[in-house]
Structure 1
């Protein structure tokens, strides 16, 4: 199944908190994030925020961002010792960040500091109990060797300059993995992640993902990866229910040479060299198909045997007259527009 994202309600630089409304929003299945863009807004409200952190679960979080022309002072975190979900992102600089070690209740951490000082920040003991981690490093080369001690991590979004990427293979409970702007490093470690269901490869550069053997991943996205030209091992992803390929201008062919029994959604967009999408009959469960801005010839494509389950089908070239003709043809064939 596709990863479900909660709706996020942001409370920006508050001077007061409506605790009744916050609890209602959480009961409605949302996330509530209280966020601060500058120290001038901390006031005495951080103590009230911490009281809420102590009483509420990880769907209530705190974010520090912006702080333009300032370096975020990590000692601020000592005022919210009960925080469970913490965002320190969209920050240019931060200091005293080692105070993360004082946060004993962290469940989820999102760390995006442009000039991250400590490349061994993952060595901080209190981070080992995290279930959810997003961390990007643009200047320092982030050392990932410490993942060997992260026995509870279920969701990981990692990006930028890193070393020891293969340490991710020690994360036995990992369910979701996003690799952002990580170039050419081999992906053999993915084969060790037996519980992995969601894999996203975003930006960076690599030609293929041939290292990935047969697996149980059910949701795969490959978006804007420079030089990517080979998806010939796609049927190793035998448990796929959803496949998204975007902005892959060197990819010329996708061929389903073996049956993918569970694939329900296939979305391909802005793959301008992609001329061949073949053996669609190997996708018996496919019910939603979207093809945008490719080199695929619609008249030829529609002649092949398509899955009988296919009910929602969109095909567009970005040429308005041609697209209207295709839309009319699909409508006459009984296909509906793709619904979210």
Structure 2
């Protein structure tokens, strides 16, 4: 995971610090929450944009933004306009910014529903699209984004099947995307990370055998079954969290690469079976479920398991469980006694 340093509302820039952090592999992002930028400062920022690749970014958020200001940073490679109610002259993004590689867009009252059709955006590698009032925001233009590696979509569903044409996509986050089928994911042969957060659906059974290594299913309304877990044959990390209708999960075959499984705050979840088949599982964390610990601890477990944590959120009981697991040779993976 790339570390980020966010430089908040600066009046001047510490170019030496920025150089040190980017050289060390960090992302440095200069961000403004209000109209505190001057032409002089934007010119200085553009000089840095010329010097650095997309590890140096600029973010404007939280205020009504006039995109005419972007004409001062034509060399920006990483730009985010997000957490905004509205912006003016968004067309400047399409006509003046020819070097973008990473772009975040989150304008609730956006009127330019075809903005993704801008030719200069087609070459970007990272795109974040957050929620808007309109449901007419058109994802069909994504078919032309042949270099896209990371895509985050929040709330947009119009022509969402176009995502299936992003054959180089490595990471996909679907936030608050409800009801629409997920068949398009089966075309993404390079996809390694899938995160499904919020929204509503009962399952993800449309997803066939795949190459996904990291999967998160978090707070999905109505999610109540995960019967196709065995289709995720390359899975390394699995996180299932805040799904209150999910009651059981059965591993019916070995997932040869699964190392880390977190089952968190699924309050009606009672039955977990087949973990003994997970021959590489080293980290299992269970928090706030309806699993009976005494029954669970009797189940067979893989020899690879080193970190095993089980929490009920009742302090006295959790202390007893922790000591019990410790006597069995497990640690909870936390840096405290």
TM-score scaled by structure 2?
0.97
How far 1:45 moved relative to its partner? 0.5
Partner of 2:6, secondary structure, is: strand
Partner of 1:112, secondary structure, is: strand
C-alpha distance in 2, partners of 1:168/1:40?
37
Q: After the TM superposition, which residues 29-178 of structure 1 pair with which residues of structure 2 at under 5 Å, given as runs? A: 29-67=25-63, 71-101=64-94, 102-141=96-135, 142-178=137-173
C-alpha distance in 2, partners of 1:213/1:300?
32
Partner of 2:288, secondary structure, is: strand
How far 1:39 moved relative to its partner? 2.3
Structure 1 residues 64-97: Cα deviation after superposition (integer angstroms, max 9, x where no partner): 0122xxx211111111000000011111111210
How far 1:185 moved relative to its partner? 0.5
C-alpha distance in 2, partners of 1:185/1:136?
17
TM-score scaled by structure 1?
0.96
Structure 1 residues 304-324: Cα deviation after superposition (integer angstroms, max 9, x where no partner): 110100001110011111111
- Contact 1:313–1:335 (CA under 8 A) maintained in structure 2: yes
- Contact 1:289–1:338 (CA under 8 A) maintained in structure 2: no
Q: After the TM superposition, which residues 1-340 of structure 1 pair with which residues of structure 2 at under 5 Å, given as runs? A: 4=1, 6-67=2-63, 71-101=64-94, 102-141=96-135, 142-339=137-334
Where do 4+ consecutive residues of structure 1 move more than 6 Å?
none
C-alpha distance in 1, partners of 2:157/2:91?
19
How far 1:43 moved relative to its partner? 3.9
- Contact 1:116–1:140 (CA under 8 A) maintained in structure 2: yes
- Contact 2:157–2:180 (CA under 8 A) maintained in structure 1: no
Q: Which moved more, 1:133-142 or 1:231-240?
A: 133-142
In structure 1, stretches of 5+ residues that fail to align are none
Partner of 1:44, secondary structure, is: helix
C-alpha distance in 2, partners of 1:249/1:286?
25
How far 1:38 moved relative to its partner? 2.1
How far 1:137 moved relative to its partner? 2.8
Partner of 2:133, secondary structure, is: strand
Q: Which moved more, 1:189-198 or 1:316-325?
A: 316-325
C-alpha distance in 2, partners of 1:259/1:292?
23
Q: Which moved more, 1:238-247 or 1:41-50?
A: 41-50
Partner of 1:88, secondary structure, is: strand
Q: Which moved more, 1:266-275 or 1:319-328?
A: 319-328
Aligned length: 333
- Contact 2:235–2:255 (CA under 8 A) maintained in structure 1: yes
How far 1:293 moved relative to its partner? 0.3
C-alpha distance in 2, partners of 1:162/1:42?
38
Bigger share in strand: 1
